[in-house]
C-alpha cells in the first residue's frame, strides 16, 4: 500500500496498542484543555487512557471496533466503536491530528465505524462531542447523525461526579444515527 494513502489499521498487537495509547492521550489532552477553557470541566486523562487500552470488552472485537488511521507511514488518528446495549453502539475517541485534517481521514474512519455497526446488527449509533468542536459536528451530520437529548450511558458517566454531570451534559452535543431497517437486512 502506498504510504500517501489514508488507511485504517485495526488495533490489536503491542505496536498498534502503543500507537493508539499515544493518540488517545493526545486527543484527551486536547479535549481536557477545551473542556477546562470553555466549560470549567476536568477529568482524569490517565484513567480514561488506561481503560481504553486495557479493557478488552470496551472497544476490541467482538464487542467493539478499534482503529488507527495511517498516512505517510505515520499513525495520524484513532477511532472506536463501543457496544452500549444489544441494539445501540457508540462512537468514541474519534480523533485526527490537526496536521492531517483535510485528507478525508475522519470521514473514512466514521464511515468504517458505521459500516461495522451495521454489520454487527446495531440499530442505533450514538456519540457525544463537546459543543466547541463544530467541524466534527459537520462531519457527523453529513453522514446522517442528528442531535438528541443527553443519554444516560454516555462515556463520561464514569469520569464525572454526579454534580459535574449536569455541567458536562450542557457542554456536549449528543447525536445519534438510526439505521434504516430495510437497508440493514440486505
Answer whether residue 56 is part of any domain.
yes
Q: Judge whether residue 44 has pLDDT over 70.
A: yes
Tell me, what CATH number does 133's domain have? 3.40.630.30
Work out the burial of residue 27: count CB atoms within 10 Å of its CB; fewer than 13 is exposed, 13-18 middle, 19 or more buried: buried
Q: 23-39: per-residue pLDDT in tens? A: 999 999 999 898 888 87
Average pLDDT over residues 160-172: 66
Would you place residue 186 in the very low, low, confident or very high pLDDT band (cuts 50, 70, 90)?
very low
Beta bridge partners of 92: 80
Residue 3, pLDDT score: 66
Q: What is the pLDDT of residues 80-127, one digit of tens each?
A: 999 999 999 999 999 999 999 999 999 999 999 999 999 999 999 999
pLDDT, residue 185, reads 46
Q: What percent of the chain is modeled with pLDDT above 70?
A: 87
| pLDDT value, residue 165 | 58
Q: Which domain holds residue 157?
A: 7-184
Place of cell 488495533: 11
Asked if the structure places residue 1 within a domain, the reply is no
Residue 58 DSSP SS3: coil
On whether residue 2 sits in a domain, the answer given is: no
Length of the chain as a residue count: 186
Asked if the structure places residue 39 within a domain, the reply is yes
Q: Label the pairing between strands 74-83 and 172-178.
A: unpaired
Domain count, the chain: 1
In 3D space, the residue among 67, 69, 21 whose CA is nearest the CA of residue 48 turns out to be: 21
How confident is the prediction for the chain on average, in pLDDT? 89
Amino acid at each position: 500500500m502506498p504510504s500517501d494513502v489514508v488507511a485504517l489499521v485495526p488495533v490489536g498487537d503491542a505496536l498498534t496498542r502503543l500507537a493508539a495509547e499515544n493518540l488517545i492521550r493526545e486527543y484527551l489532552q486536547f479535549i481536557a484543555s477545551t473542556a477546562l477553557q470553555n466549560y470549567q470541566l476536568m477529568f482524569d486523562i490517565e484513567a480514561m487512557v488506561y481503560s481504553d487500552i486495557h479493557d478488552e470488552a470496551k472497544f476490541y472485537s467482538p464487542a467493539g471496533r478499534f482503529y488507527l488511521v495511517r498516512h505517510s507511514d505515520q499513525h495520524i488518528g484513532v477511532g472506536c466503536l463501543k457496544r452500549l446495549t444489544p441494539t445501540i453502539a457508540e462512537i468514541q475517541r474519534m480523533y485526527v491530528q490537526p496536521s492531517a485534517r483535510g485528507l478525508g481521514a475522519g470521514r473514512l474512519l466514521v464511515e468504517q465505524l458505521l459500516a461495522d455497526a451495521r454489520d454487527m446488527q446495531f440499530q442505533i449509533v450514538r456519540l457525544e462531542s463537546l459543543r466547541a468542536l463544530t467541524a466534527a459536528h459537520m462531519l457527523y451530520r453529513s453522514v446522517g447523525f442528528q442531535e438528541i437529548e443527553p443519554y444516560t450511558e454516555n462515556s463520561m458517566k464514569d469520569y464525572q461526579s454526579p454534580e459535574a454531570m449536569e455541567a458536562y451534559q450542557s457542554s456536549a452535543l449528543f447525536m445519534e444515527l438510526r439505521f434504516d431497517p430495510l437497508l440493514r437486512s440486505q
